[in-house]
Amino acid sequence: MGSDMKALQKYKRTYILALQNAMEYRTDFLMGIISGGFIILVQCFLWTAVFRSSPQEIINGYTYSQIIIYSVLSGVVSKLVSAGFEGEIANDIKTGGLSKFIAQPIHYFSYRICNFFGEKTVQTGVVLVLFVILMTVFIQIWGFQLRVGQIVMFLVSILFGMLINFLLFYSISALAFIITEVWGVYIAFNQGVYLLSGAIFPLNIFGDTFATISSYLPFQYVVFFPVKIILGSLAVHEIVSGLLLQAVWVTVLLVISKLAWDSGMKKYVAVGG
């Protein structure tokens, strides 16, 4: 009887803990959507003020409808491809939690990428529903044109964008092997990626020189390139070229992340593990 009661209490504690974790995840996801929506609203108000005060109907190659659509879609895409696991990796390295992956036949990279895409499965469903609603609104208001081939290439570019963003943050997370308190570096890197990916403003509004330099970096292929596809701003050969470059960057970043982690593991001392 006593053992049954203990088993029941253990089951209740496990159930409550699982319920709390689920609620925390849903709350975090909901707050992320709300904060992202707030940023999008600020951008829309900003561009509305800019176009109202300007005598020109086209600014930096964008009409008012195009820049509003870009601002909204870039916010949605940046939320979809976002990482956010670098803090967990730093904690695993600092506390020795990484040790269990050394002792067990589970590669840490495989665990992280499966966990990343597992979380994105639920997010993708919610974001795709939001995307369909937004596209319907844009079509009704501005007569926005959308083709099936355009959507397919957009989805492929989103997948590559997720991989690129994952590998960027997985690579930079190796700094935790060297720097004990790496949070400041993570925040600076996150903000840099947010800007250089085109999540705030279209990259070409900063001038031709900036756009040329950014074309040689992986960041624009996270947000800017996928959104340009769905806007219909790129020709077919430009889209194919961009997708190939995304594949190249995935390969390059795979090599960089492996080198960074191999180097970091040589310094790992499993403190607290």
Which residue type occupies 92?
D
pLDDT value, residue 16: 55
The share of the chain scoring above pLDDT 90, in percent, equals 25
Within 10 angstroms of residue 188's Cβ, the number of other Cβ atoms is 11
18 has a pLDDT exceeding 50: no
Q: What is the C-alpha to C-alpha distance for residues 127 and 125, in angstroms, rounded to an integer?
A: 6
Q: By mean pLDDT, which of 8-12, 17-21, 41-45, 63-67 is the weakest?
A: 17-21
pLDDT value, residue 149: 87
Global pTM reads 0.84
Please give the distance of CA 211 from its chain centroid, rounded to a whole number.
21
105 has a pLDDT exceeding 80: no
pLDDT value, residue 36: 62
Q: How confident is the model at residue 25 (pLDDT cuts 50, 70, 90)?
A: low
97 has a pLDDT exceeding 50: yes
pLDDT value, residue 9: 57
For residues 88-112, average pLDDT: 83
Q: How confident is the model at residue 15 (pLDDT cuts 50, 70, 90)?
A: very low
For residues 58-82, average pLDDT: 87
Q: Which of the pair, 139 or 248, is modelled with greater confidence? A: 248
Helical H segments across the chain, by residue range: 2-53, 64-81, 86-95, 99-103, 108-142, 148-172, 183-196, 208-214, 224-231, 236-265
Q: Which of the pair, 130 or 242, is modelled with greater confidence? A: 242
For 207-260, write each residue's pLDDT tens digit.
878 888 888 899 999 999 999 999 888 899 999 999 999 999 999 999 999 999
For 147-173, write each residue's pLDDT tens digit.
888 989 999 999 999 999 999 999 999
Q: How confident is the model at residue 12 (pLDDT cuts 50, 70, 90)?
A: low
The 3-state DSSP class for residue 15 equals helix
What does the buried/exposed string (b/e) look like for 46-68 if buried means 16 or more CB atoms within 10 Å of the residue's CB? ebeeebeeeeeeeeeebebebbb
Q: What is the C-alpha to C-alpha distance for residues 249 and 246, in angstroms, rounded to an integer?
A: 5
pLDDT value, residue 249: 96
Q: What is the C-alpha to C-alpha distance for residues 268 and 263, in angstroms, rounded to an integer?
A: 9
For residues 83-106, average pLDDT: 82
Q: By mean pLDDT, which of 31-35, 110-114, 193-197 is the weakest?
A: 31-35
Q: Whole-number mean pLDDT of the chain?
A: 83
Structural domain boundaries of the chain? Answer: 1-266
Residue with tokens 């995307």: 131
